[in-house]
Amino acid sequence: MIVEVEPNDNCDSSVFARFKEVEPARLLHQVRLYDRDSSGEWCWVTGWNDNEQAPVCPAYAQLVEDSGSGLAHLVYGGIYGLRFRPVSLDEPWSLTSPHQWGEAYLSLADARDLRYAD
């Protein structure tokens, strides 16, 4: 499994990383993040790609081997990474919203921080 993200307006960082797959990828809708709230905040997640007319694409989570921490849940999206917004907000995906932010990818330890589409 290779994750490649180019630098872009969604996230400043680029990444090219290889992971060993343990389970198949699953379509993902929400993640719980702890960056802005230490008790955790559920956020919608989507992939972001280079199509200016339709930049939204699916986001996935996949159990992988992580050389630094054993097993981890890799969350990844499009060539421009992932985009997040709190579930409490009802607004369209946008690079100009101050309530949304992007990341190249996530590595999460706890499956309870993931809500799948199925």
Q: How many of the other CB atoms lie within 10 Å of CB of 109? A: 12
Task: Show pLDDT as tens, one digit a residue, over the chain (118 residues).
Answer: 999 999 999 998 899 999 999 999 999 999 999 988 889 999 999 999 999 889 999 999 999 997 766 899 999 999 999 999 999 999 999 999 999 999 999 999 999 999 999 8
pTM reported for the whole predicted model: 0.93
